[in-house]
Structure 1
Amino acid sequence: MKLSRPVSWFLLAFGVWSWVIWITFVKNLVADGSGLAFDDGLPTAYFWVHLLLAVVSFVLGTVVGAIGLRGLRALRRTS
C-alpha cells in the first residue's frame, strides 16, 4: 500500500508534534510544584501514570512519524 504525499506529510508532522508535546509534558511533570507528582520528594501514583501515558504516546507518535517518513522516501524513489 502506498501513502499519498499529503498523508505522509501529515503523519510525519504528527510525529514531530508528538516529540514537542510529550517532551514538554514530561519536563513540566518533573518540575511540578503543586504536590500532585511528588509527595515529600517521592513520586506519586499520579506521576507514574502520567509518565507512562507520556512515554507510550511518545513512542506511538514516533512510530507514526516514521511511517510518514518511509512513505515520503518511497514516493521520492518512485518519482
Structure 2
Amino acid sequence: MTLSKRASWFLIVVGVWTWAIWPNFLKNIWKDDRSWDDGPTGFFTVHLVLTATSLAIGSVVGWLGIRGARAGRTAVPGAASSDHMVSSGR
C-alpha cells in the first residue's frame, strides 16, 4: 500500500497531536478528586487505560505516517517497489 504525501503528513500530525493532548489530560485526571480514595478509583483506572491506549494508537499512526513520508521521498516513479522485489534465483 502506498500513502500519499498528504495522508502521510496527516498521520504524523495526528500522532503529534495525540502526544500533545493525552499526557496533559492524564495530568488533569490525576489531580481530580474523583481519582483517589485510599488508592486509585475506577474513574482514574478507566482514564489511565484510555490514555495509554490512545498514546499507543497515536504512536502507531505517527510511525505509519513517518514511514509513508520516507517511502514517498525515496520512491522513484516507474521503479519497482522494494516490497515486490523478484528473487535473484538463488
- Provide the TM-score with structure 1 as the length reference: 0.90
> Which is richer in strand?
1
Question: Unpaired segments of 5 or more residues in structure 1?
Answer: none
CA RMSD of aligned residues (A): 1.1
User: Counterparts of 1:31 and 1:63 in 2: how far apart (Å)?
Assistant: 28
Moved over 3 A (4+): none
Question: Unpaired segments of 5 or more residues in structure 2?
Answer: 77-90
Q: Aligned residues, how many? A: 76
Rg bigger for which structure?
Answer: 2
Deviations 1:29-66 (A, max 9, x none): 1122xx211124x2101100110001001100110010
Which residue is equivalent to 1:15?
A: 15
**Secondary structure of 1:43's partner?**
coil
Which residue is equivalent to 1:44?
A: 41
Q: Larger relative CO (CA 8 A, sep 6+): 1 or 2? A: 1
